[in-house]
Amino acid sequence: MKRKLALIGKDISYSLSPMIHGEIFREMDYDATYELFSVDVAELPMLVEKLKSEYVGFNVTKPHKQNILPFLDDCDLKSVNTVRVDGDKLHGASTDGYGFSRDLKIRFGEKIKGTALVLGAGGVARVIAPELKKIGFDVYIRNRTVSKAEELAAENWDKPIVVTTNVQFFESLYANRTSRCRKIHNIAESVIVFDEAQMLPVSLLRPCIRAISELTAHYGCTAVLCTATQPALDGLFGAGTVLREICPDTAAMYADFRRVRYEWCGKLSDDTLAERMQNTDAALCVLNTKRTTRQYFEALHTPGTDDGVYHLSTYMTPRHLAGTIEKIKARLQAIREGTVRGRCLVFSTSLIEAGVDIDFPTVYRELSGLDSIIQAGGRCNREGRQSAAESVVYVFEREKVPRGLEEVCEWVRGDLETCPDISAPEVITRYFRRLYGANVREKTDRLDKNRILPLIDHREGDEAYIPYREIAELFRYIDQRDQMRILVPNEENRGLCEELRRGIVNRKLLRTLAKDMVTLYTEEYNALRDKGVLTPVCCGIAILEDDYHAPRYYDPECGIVFDREAEALFCEA
């Protein structure tokens, strides 16, 4: 059967690619054809569907090297010129960087280095610049807009200070794609600061620690792990790794910085907790599930009024989350200054525990992991306006512990009942030692769930072989395979939503719309799909077909609404 390949671009009738590929196919005795498709951006979705069903692969040229990106699966490249069709999936690659550096080496020798000036910061420059840096050039980028040139340098970690995420950092180290790997040489001889170190995922902890150990042992790096709840990682680093506290007397500093006290309430009924919150002027209540968080909010909030009751969960879009957090901060400040008489009651999931700078006099936290409870405590008396005795974090238990937290909650419950201060360093250390496993077998399984390190350490046969693709698939810091994105239309983005519906897709458009998207698990997505209110467009995105003037399935105050009748209130406000 004759294989079909193609080149897609715009105004490319001049291209000699069909003739060149035809000659190569004949020389290789390869039974294939090579065609040209000249299309506009709006025609890409229909063409991509045709290519997926009839072709084994295709090349991409101007102006679509970036326009094609949203249609690709698991692609983190900034520019693509080659796409392989694998069933219903498209895998992109770029040969521009490799081809460019190979040609330089052929012309000028393997040890070529010097200074390179890259004119422009567009698609191809995003591939060429890091390749030049990789082979030893000092690279300068010249572009009409300075911000784009700086953005390109930052994307490749080629800046004095780089701010990235744990996800991007570790997945780049364990990646099998050249696009992600070509920037990691810039890590050498750097200081790497890991904020909220306790958030390193337990199931990938050993691979993460191995990566840190490797960087410090062989690449001149220094790693700094920062957290209010320092995990017990000392036994996981290699024997040659030097570990030390930066602060000389942590026990004394702990006492100096203590701002709250923790009080165990035992089991509280829903009505009792709601009543306690109602009788408080300003308080934060952190709950374990999004459903429970909404139920409490709806029980105490009067719709359509600014009654000082707020909701925070990832069922809300980033736009509405940010807006609500700013409202909460402003109200707390107004209450402190006496310009507003009233209350400020916030019901939130654990999202508020990481990176949200907010200060409540009182916090309620549903029983969970010790690190989560202490992080919630970080939102209480944050600015030290009160004494520690006056600033209380009430830890309570509901009738049912969420699935998967039973063992952890049992440990923490015991500490709450027996320890005078659950935030003491020795209690935190004991908690993490339990969390990371009681025996060698349990520890190994728990901290490297996907058995990544054995793939590296215990290779059979050819010792040089490492299954990079398999490792990259197994090392998913956040597994997004069971997640879908929902775009919530509003007055501001309705034009961009129409572009998506017409099949006009590009990276800039998707970045702009990201603040109006909610990520749902497949089961949640199907619940909305079955109601007939979702229009799938592309890239795992569906548009919520709701009247944003009178929405039924999205509420700006509490996010995606699945079934209000099923989410019955447990008490009256």
Catalytic residue numbers, as ranges: 65
- Return the amino acid letter for 201: P
CB-based contact 517:487 (threshold 8 Å): yes
Q: How far apart are CA 186 and CA 457, in angstroms?
A: 25
- Return the amino acid letter for 345: L
Chain centroid offset of residue 305 CA: 34
Partnered with residue 60 across adjacent β-strands are 8
For 392-427, give one letter per residue: b (16+ CB within 10 A) or e.
Answer: bbbbbbbeebeeebeebbeebbebbeebeebbbeeb
CB-based contact 409:395 (threshold 8 Å): no
Can you say whether residue 109 is alpha, beta or left, with left for phi > 0 and alpha for psi between -120 and 50 degrees?
A: left
CB-based contact 137:441 (threshold 8 Å): no
CB-based contact 573:299 (threshold 8 Å): yes
Q: How far apart are CA 555 and CA 24, in angstroms?
A: 59
Do the bridges between strand 89-93 and strand 82-86 make them parallel or antiparallel, or are there none, so unpaired?
Answer: antiparallel
Number of neighbouring beta carbons within 10 Å of residue 242: 8
- Residue 147, C-beta contacts closer than 8 angstroms, at least 6 positions apart: none
The DSSP 8-state label assigned to residue 540 in this structure reads T
* C-alpha to C-alpha distances, 530 to 527, 534, 535, nearest whole angstrom: 5, 9, 11
Q: What is the 3-state composition of the chain as percent helix, strand, coil, each rounded to the nearest 5?
A: 40, 20, 40
Q: What secondary structure does DSSP assign to 448-517, as a single string? A: STT-HHHHHHS--S-TT---HHHHHHH--SS--TTEEEEE---TTTHHHHHHHHTT---HHHHHHHGGGE
CB-based contact 64:41 (threshold 8 Å): yes
